[in-house]
Amino acid sequence: GESLIVNDAYADSRFNPEVDRETGYRTRNILAIPLFDKKGNILGVFQAVNKLRGGFSAEDLELFTLLGGYASSAIENSILQAKIREAYREAVMRLSHAAEYKDPETYNHIVRVGLYTKLMAEKLGLEREVCENVMMATPMHDIGKIGIPDAILLKKGKLDDWEWEVMKRHTLIGYEILRDSSSELLQMAALVALDHHERWDGTGYPAGKRGEEISLWGRMTSVADVFDALLSKRPYKEPWTLERTVEHMRELRGRSFDPQLIDIFLDSLDEVVKIRERYRDEEQ
């Protein structure tokens, strides 16, 4: 944990010359500064090698100690931000899973939806941060179901007209829960909740939007959610085969689904299937 100046590396027994032999480099002198966090724990080492003129001095040590302090702060802040992002991501996934306690869909279903939509976003060439946000926002598509009465949400038979109108409100409830946030992620998730049952031809709900009136995030989620639901076992249905599911999705191109997105999705079917296999439901 101490700073170190070595002005003749080969004369110091602590230096390992094998490093130079393997790299073809010739180390003459070294200045090493330990990097500490605010609690005094070592984060790493800030090292300078081979001063251009002469050896390292006390003045060099003072300067590099100052620079090392800045580096320590930057590293610690980066670690803290990574921890915050991970905690935020976990909180979002737990929020997404909240609706699943009332609905028969599985936790892995929402994970797969997130990964399918991230794959589509990547294929569209969207920025990395946007792709990450898509992956975390789209699993929140059904968060509004926490506002639907159990008698309707868990009904095994067909819903009557009034019950169906109540069920469709989960899109609006989800939007109200997530809207007005300063977070770009939650703004995206609000649109996902609102639009994921809209259809390309304008026959969806809640607003009957059509084409690009529907948010890109909602259009992505629609493709991913329907595909995964068809392949999954539910209390009211057996899982479809992959072949039947793909054929059905193609039939709905330009009707339910954005033609460009369905083409991207089905052209990436090998990657899609790998995601599904990796996060398959336990009972399947």
Q: DSSP of 223-282, one letter per residue? A: HHHHHHHHHS-BTTBPPPPHHHHHHHHHHTBTTTB-HHHHHHHHHTHHHHHHHHHHT--T
Query: Residue 226 sits in which domain range?
Result: 102-278
pLDDT at 284 over 60: no
Q: Which pLDDT score is estimated for 104? A: 56
Q: Are residues 58 and 156 in the same domain?
A: no
Rounded to the nearest integer, the mean pLDDT of the chain is: 90
How confident is the model over 16-22, as a mean pLDDT?
A: 90
Whether 95 is covered by a domain: the verdict is no
Q: Which residue has the tokens 């039939």?
A: 251
Q: Which pLDDT score is estimated for 210? A: 97
How confident is the model over 108-117, as a mean pLDDT?
A: 93
Higher pLDDT, 281 or 120: 120
pLDDT band at 100 (very low <50, low <70, confident <90, very high): low
- What residues contact residue 201 under an 8 Å CB cut-off, 6+ apart? 210, 254, 255, 256
- Residues annotated as catalytic are 145
Q: Are residues 75 and 141 in the same domain?
A: no
**DSSP secondary structure letter of residue 39:** T
Q: Are residues 57 and 111 in the same domain?
A: no
- Out of 23-37, 47-61, 106-120, 207-221, the most confident range is 207-221
For residues 240 and 249, the answer to whether their CB atoms sit within 8 Å is no
pLDDT band at 169 (very low <50, low <70, confident <90, very high): very high
For residues 133 and 185, the answer to whether their CB atoms sit within 8 Å is yes
User: Which CATH number goes with the domain that contains 21?
Assistant: 3.30.450.40
Q: Which pLDDT score is estimated for 181? A: 85
Q: Are residues 25 and 153 in the same domain?
A: no
How confident is the model over 94-102, as a mean pLDDT?
A: 68
> What's the sign of the alpha-carbon dihedral 222, 224, 225, 227?
positive
For residues 206 and 218, the answer to whether their CB atoms sit within 8 Å is no
pLDDT band at 115 (very low <50, low <70, confident <90, very high): very high
Amino acid symbol at 265: F
For residues 197 and 144, the answer to whether their CB atoms sit within 8 Å is no
Q: Are residues 135 and 210 in the same domain?
A: yes
Q: Which residue has the tokens 């909740």?
A: 193
For residues 101 and 201, the answer to whether their CB atoms sit within 8 Å is no
pLDDT band at 122 (very low <50, low <70, confident <90, very high): very high
Counting the structural domains of the chain, the total is 2
Q: Are residues 15 and 121 in the same domain?
A: no
Q: Are residues 117 and 256 in the same domain?
A: yes
Whether 36 is covered by a domain: the verdict is yes
pTM, 2 dp: 0.72
Whether 225 is covered by a domain: the verdict is yes
Range with the lowest mean pLDDT among 52-56, 62-66, 97-101? 97-101
Q: Which pLDDT score is estimated for 182? A: 85
The strands making up 30-36's β-sheet, listed across from edge to edge, are 4-6, 30-36, 42-49
